[in-house]
Amino acid sequence: MGSILNFVYSDNFLVNGHEISTNKCRFHRGPFNKYIQDSTNITHTVNYQISKKSFNFFLIEVDHMQHIFNDSITIFDMLPIQFIDKIREGDVTLIITSVAESSTFDDMFFNKLEHKLNTLGISSNKVHLIDSNYDITTYKNNFNKYHSLHYIVTDNFNKLGNNDLNYVSEVPVVDDVLNGVIRNKHFLSLNRQSRPHRYILLSHIHKNNLYDKVHLSYLTNPSSLGVPDEFKSTDIETKIKIPLELDTFNVYNKSGFFSGDTLSNHYLDSYFNITTETYFFEKISTFSEKIIKPIEGLQPFIVLGTFQYLNKLKSLGFKTFDSIWDESYDDIEDGIDRITKILNVIDEISSWDIAHCDKIYKSVLDICIYNRNHLHDIYDDDEFGKILNKIINVSKKDTRYGV
């Protein structure tokens, strides 16, 4: 890309950063901005000043696209009028990203964003939106839209040195898997922040006394907010001692760290993974680092995820495990019915003796190895760079750049 690309920042911290705690409206340092900062081929200007010899871009990186708005203020209202003029006149191209977490979209969101931009004289076809929601490109509107596989292509393992939990992350090697040692647990399930589907899983494990079947982490107090009434339980709040920990004993802020990143002995001492994704009841298509962990850990996975999660994962070339258990839950759109089906699958597997688990696991080990190799094959540490190249190609159509 060379020096043709310049990112404009609000100040010398190279973070377009303002935060309003009352509405979570913020634009800040995130993975896309980190890519920009790490690049040696991208220049920067500060104090909203542009480079007259470059394509100038302004990055708004949020944790959810919805946080652009609240009733009284938007991110755009924080920008100087003179800089809004530069965006409107095409001297600066606006990029809005949410790749650290996925956004939930509907037509109303895009209409609202387009209306706000129109009031500022900014054409939506000059604005670029990047999100890790798999569905962003399916909406019909004038925005330039890109889907990021930020988490599915991020190598969270085999890092040099200690991780944030102060141990060296390791993944199981195939020789360890084939050594014939019988494992102690049916499942491994890692849970950090409490979410409705994780609450339901924890309640089910407690109610059915499945603790001896699972290496389980659950790091924050269970919240019944958003949990359907039929799944709410007084036991979960009064009889379960939180946090349940596997590798976070030495950190104070349990909610600030990811468990199992990755302690290979937990994977080598359990057969199957209960993967609790970020979203379950929402209408959203996304993948996160959570699915990478069982893939790297060489474990078959049951996923508490959104409708047709497995189907979309397979569209990326991964294989799943319908040969050893019922995956029809993936096609159940109703969240209550879907999680009920998943719990039934977990109960069935829990009834297997450990020797049967070992036999079933080894029957699909080839799929586990394939999935890990495929993950590495699609890993692309220049994914953001390729998206930027697409944005530049669109911007080149603007004759003001003389190209």
Q: Which residue has the higher pLDDT, 371 or 20?
A: 371
Which residues are within 8 A (CB) of 200 and not within 5 positions of it... i.e. 6 or more apart?
227, 231, 339, 343
List the one residue out of 188, 355, 373 whose CA is nearest residue 263. Answer: 188
- Asked which of 168-172, 295-299, 330-334 is least confident by mean pLDDT, the reply is 168-172
Degrees, nearest 5: CA angle 223-226-232: 65
What pLDDT digit, counting tens, does each position of 238-264 carry?
Answer: 888 888 888 877 777 776 666 665 667
Task: Find the helix packing angle between 335-350 and 196-207, rounded to 10°.
Answer: 40
State what percent of residues in the chain have pLDDT above 70: 87
Give residue 116's Cα distance to chain centre. 27
Residue 67 has pLDDT above 90, yes or no: no
What pLDDT digit, counting tens, does each position of 318-336 carry?
Answer: 999 999 999 999 999 999 9
Looking at residue 281, its amino acid is F
What pLDDT sits at residue 398? Answer: 61
What pLDDT sits at residue 255? Answer: 67
What pLDDT digit, counting tens, does each position of 221-241 carry?
Answer: 998 999 999 999 888 878 888
Topology of the domain covering 2-149+381-401? Rossmann fold (3.40.50)
What does DSSP say about strands 25-27 and 18-20: parallel, antiparallel, or unpaired?
Answer: antiparallel
With beta carbons less than 8 A apart as the criterion, state whether 284 and 306 touch. Answer: yes
| CA distance linking residue 28 with residue 31, whole number of Å | 10
Residue 400 has pLDDT above 70, yes or no: no
Residue 158 has pLDDT above 60, yes or no: no
With beta carbons less than 8 A apart as the criterion, state whether 153 and 383 touch. Answer: yes
Q: What is the mean pLDDT of the chain?
A: 86
Where residue 37 falls among pLDDT bands split at 50, 70, 90? Answer: confident
| CA distance linking residue 301 with residue 212, whole number of Å | 19
| CA distance linking residue 331 with residue 342, whole number of Å | 11
What pLDDT digit, counting tens, does each position of 265-293 carry?
Answer: 889 999 999 999 989 998 888 888 889 89
Query: 292 by DSSP, 3-state: which?
Result: helix
- Asked which of 203-212, 288-297, 305-314 is least confident by mean pLDDT, the reply is 288-297
With beta carbons less than 8 A apart as the criterion, state whether 294 and 288 touch. Answer: no
- What's the CATH number for 174-378? 3.40.50
Q: What is the DSSP track for 64-96?
A: SGGGGB-SS-BGGGGS-HHHHHHHHTTSSEEEE
What pLDDT sits at residue 2? Answer: 44
List the one residue out of 201, 255, 276, 274 whose CA is nearest residue 233. Answer: 201
Q: Where in the chain is the domain with CATH 3.40.50?
A: 2-149+381-401, 174-378
Which residues are within 8 A (CB) of 191 and not within 5 positions of it... i.e. 6 or more apart?
198, 201, 202, 216, 217, 218, 219, 259, 276
With beta carbons less than 8 A apart as the criterion, state whether 63 and 98 touch. Answer: yes
Residue 100 has pLDDT above 50, yes or no: yes
Q: Which residue has the higher pLDDT, 325 or 65?
A: 325
pTM for the model stands at 0.85
| Helix, strand, coil content of the chain in percent (nearest 5) | 40, 15, 45
